[in-house]
Chain A
Amino acid sequence: EAEVAQSPRYKITEKSQAVAFWCDPISGHATLYWYRQILGQGPELLVQFQDESVVDDSQLPKDRFSAERLKGVDSTLKIQPAELGDSAMYLCASSSGHLTDTQYFGPGTRLTVL
């Protein structure tokens, strides 16, 4: 069964450094999502792509976060500079884009900012 892939699985960085996370969705999935999950809470949507276009980035802190999906396949989420409060699990999910489909999550990247 196809799965969403993410790397790295774990990342430790110092504040003010730049970090980047990569996501490879299930093949053929047009819609890709990045969520942030703070320990003990539910995931929060950061950005949604439809193919290479951003559909919703209203919750993305654009002063330090950026996301791209240049060819409409894999995606990169970047934080620059990282802050202590950015420590969280960053989850990527994908779906076909059909209303009757669901979202499939990747294993996540656990970020620790020191």
Chain B
Amino acid sequence: GENVEQHPSTLSVQEGDSAVIKCTYSDSASNYFPWYKQELGKRPQLIIDIRSNVGEKKDQRIAVTLNKTAKHFSLHITETQPEDSAVYFCAASEAGGGADGLTFGKGTHLIIQP
């Protein structure tokens, strides 16, 4: 089955700086790669996703890049703000977000230092 590795487990950055979280996956059949943000005690919420026919996707301060050859994808957050502090999870699935279970990474605890 699919295996998703996520690094780093904890990331501390100064407010206003950029943060990068990286994930690798094992199953070359995976085609859908979402990123979820989970604040303490709350549900995971989708912040951005990318499908295998696209190499990069951006939404305001958040961007995701995908390298299918190397089987890795990354989350980039620019101009970080205190409200960006949370745990971020990457995930992968084969069939697509709406039709297939997701395999998650272990998460990255992002800490924004004021």
Contacts and interface: CB of A to CB of B under 8 A. Distances in A.
Size bracket of the A interface: 20 to 34
A99 B43 contact: no
Contacts of B105: 42
A33 interface: yes
B96 A99 contact: yes
A102 B34 CA distance: 8
B44 A102 contact: no
Count chain A CB atoms within 10 A of each CB in B6, B104, B106 and give the residue with the most: B104
Size bracket of the B interface: 20 to 34
Contacts of A91: 43-44
The 4 tightest CB contacts between A and B, nearest first, are A101-B98, A42-B104, A99-B96, A45-B101
A99 B99 contact: yes
Contacts, number: 69
Main secondary structure of the interface of B (DSSP, over half): loop
Contacts of A40: 106-107
A21 interface: no
A98 interface: yes
B43 A103 contact: no
A59 B34 CA distance: 21
Interface of A: 4, 31, 33, 40-45, 48, 56, 91, 95-108
B73 interface: no
B99 A95 contact: yes
Interface in B1-19: 4, 6
B29 interface: no
Contacts of B102: 43, 45, 103
